[in-house]
Amino acid sequence: MKISMRIYKKGEDILIGACDEELLGKRLREGKFRLHVKKTFYGGRLVDEKVFETYLKEATIANLVGKRTVECAIRLGYVDPECVLYIQGIPHAQMVKMI
């Protein structure tokens, strides 16, 4: 399986919306948390983890959903595992690089 990602550029910021491919279009709900993994935000280029890592290194902001996607960000040191939210057992994390 691949990671689906879309890149947004605004000024000097690079935002990545990325998720495990199979989660596109899913609606996750648990308690007060709601997350719609919209194709319009997360859908785009399908890449393997190596390519995703390259883009994530350049990103200043990222919104990440799914086991493979979030674990990749954790492995690279961009996401603290203690800060990951789980919605219906699916990991969700956000990252902001402060420069």
Both tokens of residue 27? Answer: 């609606």
Q: What is the pLDDT of residues 3-28, one digit of tens each?
A: 999 999 999 999 999 999 999 999 99
What's the number of domains the chain is made of?
Answer: 1
What is the pLDDT of the chain when averaged over all its residues? 96
**CA 31 to CA 15: how far, in whole Å?**
28
Query: CATH number of the domain that 22 lies in?
Result: 3.30.1860.10
User: What residue has token string 């859908």?
Assistant: 43
What is the pTM (predicted TM-score) of this model? 0.94
Range of the domain at 8: 3-96
Residue 8: count other Cβ atoms within 10 Å of its Cβ.
14
**Sorting pLDDT into bands at 50, 70 and 90, what band is 89?**
very high
Which pLDDT does position 62 carry in this prediction? 98
